Structure 1
């Protein structure tokens, strides 16, 4: 595996620094960003113990040249192995505490707040936290036992592939995203 990565880098180097350098720059920024989040959360937890809970919001969408946000998104990935049992019951499970806080945030900001969840490699789920009425239950066993918002799949948008998701997101944002050239090749690959 290491030899394959090294060969990939050597091949990219043959094409010049402009081919491989942006990738490494991006990864360094991501690592520093993760370190910064860790430092901040550690500071909050250790300097002010037991006083605060931290949550982040993953994306705010603005129209170009607008100062008013159009929507906010919480981005998640759930492996098919984890999701398949609840999926068979036509349910989607998300962290219940987070769901409740995101709904409250949506109301305070008067901004549509959506979950965007990739389920396995081929399914995408999207829903507005204000437009679903989950039940809240403790589910699963062992270390996975937690408080979940249990959401009916009938109440959410389920896209079966990236192209369909692009159409669904486009409808939500009021634009056409389904042009084939705009769908990244990695997003339409198989399992």
Structure 2
């Protein structure tokens, strides 16, 4: 189990997989679609893959893959990840941005620095960007980016997030929404 602990240390999202496993591929695609900084270990390509697989099974995973860790905490396999997704709990932090916006860049950098891997939607690089901008404006976002959602709730824009960060409540909000793990 020590080998698993070392492999997940200091990485926000880790998945143990097998390269020919279709369910592993599905879960990788799902997690990547949220913009997560995903580290994948393919057990069938690792020299110590069998040892790691045994350690995952000792943690109660049957089958051993896919196995997903967020913030060094075991979340589970395909069933647990799909359940979280269907409940809407994998989208813990979402930021709508534009690639040319310096404030958007600053907010993304702040979230990454706090250990969050938010889903990022670049409005100027998405074919539905104009529609998203209109929807954000209807929520009261003016300007429409950056627009930040945590745990499914609209938090606000730059000034709102900076205020929350300065008063110390942003990190706790991210922890409560399971966007970061301690």
TM-score normalized with structure 1 length:
0.30
Greater strand proportion: 1
Structure with the bigger RCO (C-alpha within 8 Å, sep 6+) is 2
